């Protein structure tokens, strides 16, 4: 284990990545600092080439392939970000790239991977199923398999992030890192603990797919079937052998966050930091806001590992977040089917300051009494208190209504 990867390997990877990967910014965030009582910095790998950190490891691996292997082409399995990293690196070296992606990978990631010139094959529902298919194809074609995390050169490439963080903020106390298979946190942990042994490295996984957390808890590599998660970039059922050993040795703790916490972090990053992060990338902020309450007066870096979120998913997350924060509400009610009654209802809602986003007026459904119409309203509100005001008004006006 001692010789699998060290700081020298990561420093060499940094030279390889010079003029390839951006040295992404480390940005102080006042809002999150005030919310947590710490000094919070965001490491902006969501602004990296291809939209995530994955270009670092993929390019470093492909750059070190002997010429005879480069001629065979490369193949990889990925939910999207590793796919783009491999495709971009392969294109830079004029190498054929084949990427197997889960069938339900975000469309934006599929399109971007094809845009870099790779052949994309859709297979399975999770990364691990795509991985098995990629291995089958690799056996048939002889292409070089570029593992997304369990490879020393990939890990070394990801570790360059750790060097950058400590160059920009030498007195960093804690780094929070999203964890899937473990390549990213392994590289960062080796780099930073080699430079600053007392730094704390905290991993974060989705509760829906906590494979590394379970493996560390049981002290053996554990496969977790799990459930789908909006943090698709860290939805890995089985950690790597190399990464498991590194995480066991170097990582101080791994926490898990639920889907609502991740979604809320995505929304907060948009509103408070003006930043777009995918589910995996926002997991670090979700952990910061929901699992780090005991920490005070620390300099904490939350790694935003990627920004490749599907716009349709983003729209759903925004809507869900607005409803949960009391800034949007859906109301169904019945009104007499007479001229002017809808106008009266809308005027009463306007008196509360609610903004009507949509109205559906229906008198034909079976559940609607004769002489009445069903009105479905989507309202923009300011808070839960505002919604309570609307409910009180409707009750006083004798409306029968349901809050959805």
Q: What is the CATH number of the domain that holds 248?
A: 3.40.50.1100
Which pLDDT does position 379 carry in this prediction? 96
DSSP state of 369: P
Task: Name the active-site residue from 206, 215, 305, 328.
Answer: 305
Q: Which residue in the block uniquely carries the two structure tokens 């609607």?
A: 368
In a shared domain, residues 249 and 370: no
State how many domains the chain has: 3
Cα separation, 121 vs 77, whole angstroms: 9
Length of the chain: 404
Which pLDDT does position 3 carry in this prediction? 61
Answer whether 88's CB lies under 8 Å from 55's CB: yes
In a shared domain, residues 101 and 22: no
In a shared domain, residues 265 and 206: yes
In a shared domain, residues 166 and 312: yes
118 SS3 class: coil
Which pLDDT does position 343 carry in this prediction? 94
Which pLDDT does position 106 carry in this prediction? 77
In a shared domain, residues 216 and 345: no
In a shared domain, residues 99 and 173: no
User: Is 70 marked active-site?
Assistant: no
User: Is 211 marked active-site?
Assistant: no
Given 318, 336, 356, the domain boundary residue is: 318
Does 43 reside within a domain? yes
Answer whether 246's CB lies under 8 Å from 186's CB: yes
User: For the domain that residue 357 is a member of, what is the CATH number?
Assistant: 3.30.70.260
Given 252, 286, 318, the domain boundary residue is: 318
In a shared domain, residues 82 and 203: no
Does 59 reside within a domain? no
Which pLDDT does position 2 carry in this prediction? 55
In a shared domain, residues 187 and 314: yes
In a shared domain, residues 397 and 302: no
Given 93, 110, 142, the domain boundary residue is: 142
Range of the domain at 359: 326-403
Which pLDDT does position 105 carry in this prediction? 81
Note the pTM of the prediction, 2 decimals: 0.90
pLDDT beneath 70, residues of the chain: 1-3
Cα separation, 117 vs 98, whole angstroms: 9
Cα separation, 90 vs 272, whole angstroms: 37
In a shared domain, residues 170 and 91: no
Does 356 reside within a domain? yes
Q: In what order do the strands lie in the sheet with 97-101?
A: 119-122, 97-101, 74-77, 144-145
In a shared domain, residues 125 and 156: no
Task: Name the active-site residue from 54, 109, 193, 237.
Answer: 54
Does 65 reside within a domain? no
Does 68 reside within a domain? no
In a shared domain, residues 233 and 131: no
- 117 dihedral zone (left: phi>0; alpha: psi -120 to 50; beta): left
Going by C-beta distance under 8 Å and a sequence separation of 6 or more, which residues neighbour residue 331?
A: 376, 377, 379, 390, 394, 401, 402, 403, 404
Which pLDDT does position 128 carry in this prediction? 79
């Amino acid at each position: 284990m001692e010789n699998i990867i060290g700081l020298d390997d990561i420093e060499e990877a940094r030279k390889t990545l010079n003029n390839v990967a951006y040295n992404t910014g480390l940005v102080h965030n006042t809002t999150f600092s005030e919310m947590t009582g710490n000094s919070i910095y965001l490491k902006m790998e969501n602004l990296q080439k291809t939209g995530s950190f994955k270009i670092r490891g993929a390019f470093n691996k492909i750059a070190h392939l002997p010429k005879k292997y480069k001629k065979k082409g490369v193949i990889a399995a990925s939910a999207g970000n590793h796919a783009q990293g491999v495709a971009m690196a392969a294109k830079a070296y004029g190498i054929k790239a084949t990427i197997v992606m889960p069938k339900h990978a975000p469309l934006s990631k599929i399109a971007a991977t094809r845009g870099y010139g790779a052949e994309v094959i859709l297979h399975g529902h999770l990364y691990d199923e795509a991985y098995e298919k990629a291995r089958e194809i690799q056996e048939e074609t002889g292409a070089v398999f570029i593992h997304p995390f369990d490879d020393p050169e990939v890990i070394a490439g990801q570790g360059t992030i750790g060097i950058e963080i400590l160059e920009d903020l030498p007195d960093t106390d804690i780094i929070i890192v999203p964890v899937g298979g473990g390549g990213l946190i392994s590289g960062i942990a080796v780099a930073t603990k080699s430079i600053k042994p007392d730094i704390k490295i905290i991993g974060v996984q989705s509760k829906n797919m906590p494979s590394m957390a379970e493996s560390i808890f049981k002290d053996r590599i554990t496969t977790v079937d799990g459930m789908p998660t909006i943090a698709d970039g860290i939805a890995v059922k089985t950690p790597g052998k190399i990464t498991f050993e590194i995480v066991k040795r170097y990582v101080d703790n791994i926490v898990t966050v639920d889907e609502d916490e991740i979604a809320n972090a995505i929304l907060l990053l948009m509103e408070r930091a003006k930043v777009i992060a995918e589910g995996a990338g926002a997991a670090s902020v979700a952990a910061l806001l929901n699992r780090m309450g005991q920490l005070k007066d620390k300099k904490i870096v939350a790694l935003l590992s990627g920004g490749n979120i599907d716009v349709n998913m983003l729209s759903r997350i925004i809507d869900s977040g607005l409803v949960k924060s009391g800034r949007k509400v859906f109301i169904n009610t019945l009104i007499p089917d007479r001229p002017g009654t809808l106008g009266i209802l809308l005027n009463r809602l306007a008196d509360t300051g609610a903004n009507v986003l949509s109205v559906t007026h229906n008198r034909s459904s079976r559940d609607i009494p004769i002489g009445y119409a069903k009105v479905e309203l989507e309202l923009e509100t300011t808070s839960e208190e505002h919604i309570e005001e609307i409910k009180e008004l409707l009750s006083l006006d004798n409306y029968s209504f349901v809050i959805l």
